[in-house]
């Protein structure tokens, strides 16, 4: 994710660039609307409630969601251009070099030495050298306008996700983005609007959907072993203090969000897998949420403990409450608890609890209880049930995924994207999933800033969720 700030320009049309930048307003700018009223010291709300964001589509939005899950004709090979080839982007490049039917055609990054390094990996694999785009932070526009590609994949700082995806789709390419896909409600709708108008895929690459325990739970749910699903708990609980204060990689931009925003800023890692189990957008949908944040102390304390007198980092103040708790109600009445905790000392967790009428799975540590099967009032250990309930996709790809990022789930995520494109299948996630999961972030900010009032979550499918079929178990 080394696609960082750079004031250089590549010479492409300025008016087009300025339009694209409307989707990349700086953190804390107009895109956050009434959220500026939050109190950084206490994580409190605004003095007077603001009008809630409308769940309705933007006026003038003319396209509609397809009657069936969107798919495109099969393609023999998938020609990819990468925007952002830092730590995560580079890991994706290595994955795609291991997947049949992929051509890595172009790379774009403001860190030119890193881009040259990644290009050498492609050449070392016996492939043609990719074309490089490094003339400033908006040179992705030139890549999208110039290159003959099927897919543009972005792993940049968050503010560039929407501009890159829009540029890709408006130039006839499918788009894939790291998480979150967007962090304003307007940009969530923008992705949906452009994807529909251009008839292009726009997929959020949520790798945690493909983690082995999460996929095992999905398999168990699909077999009906947990009964009727009623409740889930999930989150992103990760001590990011050192990363946020780093002078490299994510430290160059991620701390900015903590300074200016207060809410559930990174919901998709935990929420994506449980949303799949609950058939969100395919039989159910997010209806509304409420959200509240604790006081903000962790980053201020970390700076005082780790930087010397006179360092400007000691004077920074942060809006982000150290712990944000959000509750989502679905259209079918089910409940989902989503927590965000990145500023305090703690071991990593995504919680990952799925509760049904006949049993539940609980993560960290991973364990299972099914009524009538498990010992009464006792857990079964994950490792003891894995062989029985392991998802078939993991059985198929276990060996191939060895050594890939995040325990192999990144490889499986990338493999599935290419398989679906090459075979003309609907993608495992689509633009409606990207919008719904990402919208939790800005809507939680509004709720926090307005006394934890409920706020409606848009139906980005405009009713199609009631008829689209639920995803089933897939094989490699």
pLDDT tens per residue across span 215-245: 999 999 999 999 999 999 999 999 999 999 9
What's residue 391's pLDDT?
98
Q: Which domains occur in the chain, in start order?
A: 209-392+431-466 (3.30.360.10)
Torsion angle defined by CA atoms of residues 150, 156, 159 and 160, in that order, rounded to the nearest 10 degrees: -30
d(CA 288, CA 55): 10
Question: What pLDDT does 48 receive?
Answer: 63
Ranges of residues in the chain with a pLDDT under 70 are 1-48
pLDDT of residue 172: 98
The pLDDT tens digits for 184-222 are: 999 999 999 999 999 999 999 999 999 999 999 999 999
pTM higher than the cut 0.85: yes
Beta bridge partners of 361: 354, 368
List beta partners, residue 380. 368
Q: Torsions phi, psi of 108, nearest 5?
A: -140, 130
- Measured between its terminal Cα atoms, the distance across the chain in Å is 29
Alpha helices in 223-337 (DSSP H): 241-244, 254-260, 268-277, 298-306
Please state, in angstroms and rounded to a whole number, the distance separating the CA atoms of residues 268 and 45.
24
Can you count the helices (H) and strands (E) in the chain? 15, 15
């Amino acid at each position: 994710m080394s696609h960082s700030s750079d004031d250089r320009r590549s010479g492409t049309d300025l008016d087009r660039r300025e339009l694209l930048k409307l989707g990349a307003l700086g953190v804390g700018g107009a895109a956050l609307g009434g959220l500026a009223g939050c109190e950084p010291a206490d994580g409190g709300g605004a003095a007077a409630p603001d009008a809630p964001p409308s769940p309705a589509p933007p006026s003038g939005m003319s396209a509609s969601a397809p009657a069936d899950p969107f798919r495109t004709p099969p393609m023999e090979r998938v020609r990819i251009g990468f925007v952002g080839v830092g730590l995560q982007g580079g890991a994706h490049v290595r994955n795609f070099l291991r997947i049949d039917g992929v051509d890595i055609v172009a790379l774009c990054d403001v860190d030119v030495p890193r881009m040259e390094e990644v290009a050498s990996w492609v050449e070392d694999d016996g492939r043609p050298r990719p074309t490089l785009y490094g003339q400033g932070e908006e040179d992705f526009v030139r890549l999208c306008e110039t290159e003959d590609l099927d897919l543009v994949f972005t792993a940049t700082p968050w503010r560039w996700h929407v501009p890159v995806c829009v540029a890709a789709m408006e130039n006839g390419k499918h788009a894939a983005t790291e998480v979150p896909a967007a962090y304003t409600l307007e940009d969530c709708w923008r992705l949906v609007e452009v994807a529909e108008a251009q008839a292009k895929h726009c997929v959020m690459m949520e790798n945690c959907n493909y983690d082995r325990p999460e996929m095992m739970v999905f398999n168990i749910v699909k077999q009906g072993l947990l009964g009727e699903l009623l409740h889930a708990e999930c989150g992103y609980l990760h001590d990011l203090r050192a990363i946020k204060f780093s002078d490299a990689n994510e430290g160059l931009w991620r701390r900015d969000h903590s300074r200016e925003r207060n809410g559930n800023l990174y919901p998709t890692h935990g929420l994506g897998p449980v949303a799949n189990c609950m058939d969100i957008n395919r039989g159910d949908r997010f209806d509304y949420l409420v959200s509240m944040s604790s006081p903000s102390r962790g980053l201020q304390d970390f700076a005082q403990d780790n930087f010397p007198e006179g360092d400007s980092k000691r004077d920074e103040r942060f809006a982000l409450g150290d712990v944000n708790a959000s509750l989502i109600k679905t259209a079918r009445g089910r409940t989902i608890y989503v927590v965000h905790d990145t500023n305090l000392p703690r071991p990593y967790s995504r919680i990952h609890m799925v509760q049904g009428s006949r049993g539940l799975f609980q993560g960290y540590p991973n364990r299972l209880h099914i009524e009538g099967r498990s010992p009464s009032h006792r857990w079964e250990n994950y490792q003891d049930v894995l062989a029985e309930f392991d998802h078939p996709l993991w059985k198929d790809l276990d060996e191939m995924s060895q050594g890939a990022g995040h325990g192999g789930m990144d490889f499986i995520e990338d493999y599935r994207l290419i398989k679906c494109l090459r075979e003309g299948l609907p993608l495992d996630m689509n633009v409606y999933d990207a919008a719904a999961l990402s919208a939790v972030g800005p809507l939680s900010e509004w709720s926090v800033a307005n006394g934890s009032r409920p706020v409606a979550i848009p139906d980005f499918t405009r009713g199609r969720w009631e008829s689209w079929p639920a995803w089933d178990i897939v094989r490699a």
